[in-house]
């Protein structure tokens, strides 16, 4: 057998083996890596989706919380996992489109990950404690300008989507507000309610209950259109800053090299799960909109958003902690 023939034969063997593996997939539990602590918004959504995927695939979905370093630990763990479909990552957009510009990663996320599907999208909700006299964005901006450097904003950590939302507002409104980073947004909530910090951009699921019961005041959402879950709260775009948009989305990815048939299977089951009425109702309660787009569409979103945040990181001179 000539060398070209041997190469073709070897390739055919690999293709047949990959096809067979995809057809029997899954035959053991699947690990889902999450870069944030249990109880937070990513964990809640991942568990909801994981339950549905487990039912559809016939295998347990085991949550693996690899927390720390703004989600970079989870990303690196996913990047090094075998590309066999038995390790998936449930990632937040900040990990994929912000971290590459903020941290010195040892890999290129665009090359080491295989996008499967965006799962949900939600706005940040700009909230203030009840001692703040501002009742809307315009009044908050006026207050910040009257007291430069005195107001503070909490975030879930440097480079997180809520941090970047605040930095974008500082940039477009030309205000000076001090950053108080926390290890996640959940630990910041008590300090916000207790008036030890002035404001925060937060994922909707985290602060929506406190806005509804009056312990925090919601001033604006960061999508271009008002959020169905809080239709009375305006957008920042309509509050005097047209085009202002910072969304938070969650997505499922696999290590690059995962067989395309497995990628398609997980995407199909994800899309089916997100179409179920009970799932949609639970997501809507938390201000989350289901997506379920294709791997190609998801990859296009990542490519489109990455340079936008790279520019803000550079222009605002944002430094990793």
Structural domains in the chain, CATH included, are 123-239 (3.40.190.10)
> pLDDT tens-digit profile of 153-164?
999 888 888 899
CA-based max dimension of the chain: 82
Which position has the token pair 């990815």?
Answer: 253
Q: Is 308 exposed, middle or buried (0-12, 13-18, 19+ CB in 10 A)?
A: middle
pLDDT > 90: what percent of the chain? 75
What's the pLDDT score for residue 12? 45
Pick 296 or 164 by higher pLDDT: 296
> pLDDT tens-digit profile of 164-186?
999 999 999 999 999 999 988 88
> pLDDT tens-digit profile of 245-272?
999 999 999 999 999 999 999 999 999 9
pLDDT > 70: what percent of the chain? 93
* Average pLDDT rounded to a whole number, residues 75-90: 97
pLDDT for 14 beyond 50 = no
What's the pLDDT score for residue 172? 94
Pick 200 or 320 by higher pLDDT: 200
> pLDDT tens-digit profile of 110-161?
999 999 999 999 999 999 999 999 999 999 999 999 999 999 999 988 888 8
How many Å apart are CA 168 and CA 141, to the nearest integer? 13
CA distances in angstroms from 28 to 18, 98, 200, 255, listed in the order given: 16, 34, 42, 18
Residue 169 CB contacts under 8 Å (≥ 6 apart), including other chains: 126, 175, 201, 236, 241, 244
What's the pLDDT score for residue 173? 96
Pick 36 or 21 by higher pLDDT: 36
């Amino acid at each position: 057998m000539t060398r070209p023939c041997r190469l073709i034969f070897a390739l055919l063997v690999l293709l047949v083996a990959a096809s067979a593996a995809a057809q029997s997939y899954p035959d053991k539990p699947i690990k889902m890596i999450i870069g944030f602590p249990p109880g937070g918004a990513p964990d809640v959504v991942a568990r909801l989706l994981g339950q549905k995927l487990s039912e559809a695939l016939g295998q347990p979905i085991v949550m693996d919380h690899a927390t720390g370093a703004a989600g970079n630990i989870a990303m690196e763990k996913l990047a090094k996992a075998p590309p066999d479909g038995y390790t998936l990552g449930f990632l937040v957009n900040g990990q994929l489109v912000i971290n590459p510009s903020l941290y010195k990663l040892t890999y290129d996320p665009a090359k080491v990950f295989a996008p499967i599907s965006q799962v949900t999208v939600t706005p940040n909700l700009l909230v203030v404690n009840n001692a703040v006299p501002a009742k809307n964005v315009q009044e908050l901006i006026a207050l910040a300008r009257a007291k430069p450097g005195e107001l503070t904003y909490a975030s879930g950590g440097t480079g997180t989507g809520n941090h970047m939302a605040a930095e974008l507002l500082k940039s477009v409104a030309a205000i000076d507000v001090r950053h108080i980073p926390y290890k996640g947004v959940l630990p910041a909530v008590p300090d916000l309610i207790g008036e030890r910090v002035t404001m925060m951009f937060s994922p909707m699921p985290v602060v929506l209950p406190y806005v509804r019961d009056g312990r925090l005041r919601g001033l604006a959402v960061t999508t271009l259109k008002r959020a169905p879950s809080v239709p009375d709260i305006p957008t920042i775009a309509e509050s005097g800053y047209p085009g202002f948009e910072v969304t938070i989305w969650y997505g499922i990815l696999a290590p690059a090299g995962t067989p395309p048939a497995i990628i398609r299977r997980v995407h199909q089951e994800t899309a089916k799960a997100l179409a179920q009425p009970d799932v949609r109702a639970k997501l809507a309660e938390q201000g989350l909109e289901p997506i379920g787009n294709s791997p190609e569409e998801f990859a296009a979103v990542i490519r489109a958003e990455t340079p936008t945040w790279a520019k803000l990181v550079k222009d605002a001179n944002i430094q990793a902690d």
